[in-house]
Amino acid sequence: MKNSPRIYLVGVEPEGVDPHRPPLSGLLQKTCLVIGGKRHIDPLRDQMGSETEFLPITANIPEVIERLKRFLKADKAEENAIVLATGDPLYYGIGTPITKDLPPESLVIIPATTLVQRAFSLLREPWDKVRVGSLHSKKDSPAIVPGRWAFYTGGPHGPADVCSLIFAKKFLIRNMSVLEEIGMEGERVRHFDRIDSENELPKDIKPLNMVVLTIEGAANHGS
């Protein structure tokens, strides 16, 4: 019986892809389709054959799903497709829509460390009771309640968008950290004891960032 084509959802550490180490080192020779963010797939272009197809992920999730469906329908034995995503593909990542629309028996999922884990390691703070939200999609806007939070943001304006979302609920922001370019050369962590307006945030926040903060109820305004 021939081997069925497989789609590998491979988590990537923030430092970037390493084609010379597992799992990629064992997959690339049989891979005909590579999907991922530009910074993930560009380092692989020189490692792959001229017939390898590269599809960047932007705001084109339906296109990505459709291309993967065509890959499976072609049913070429012993060929792989790879989808690259930062951290765990199933944790606020591309893996969620893929697992909804593609047969599970066609998927192999290999997670890496999540950005939330990396963020709290930098903060030297336990995160087992932290709530996590994402602003990557308005339809998935988190239900804001008091507590310790970590947010995946949507670019340099992401921290301000997080603050606006919280202030709209009449809550307060305390003990806020903006973590930029985690694991990369430009890594930076900035702390703010309190934020009373999104205009208090610095204007030079880098596009790749996360926010960790504490949300307090308005009744604590005098604290």
More confident residue, 76 or 186: 186
Q: Does pLDDT of 221 surpass 50?
A: no
Query: Is CATH 3.40.605.10 correct for 6-113?
Result: no
Q: Does domain 116-220 have CATH number 3.30.950.10?
A: yes
Residue 2: per-residue pLDDT: 52
**Confidence tier at 75 by pLDDT (50, 70, 90):** confident
- Other Cβ atoms within 10 Å of 23 Cβ, number: 15
Percent of the residues in the chain that have a pLDDT greater than 90, as a whole number = 75
Please tell me the predicted confidence (pLDDT) of residue 137. 60
Residues 107, 7: contact at Cβ < 8 Å? yes
What are the backbone angles phi and psi of residue 172, rounded to the nearest 5°? Answer: -110, 155
What is the pTM for the complete model shown?
Answer: 0.84
Domain with CATH 3.40.1010.10 in the chain: 6-113
Beta carbons within 8 Å of 172's beta carbon, 6+ residues apart: 166, 194, 196, 215, 216, 217, 218, 220, 221
Task: Give the tens place of pLDDT for each residue, 91-100.
Answer: 988 999 999 9
CATH 3.30.950.10 residue ranges in the chain?
Answer: 116-220
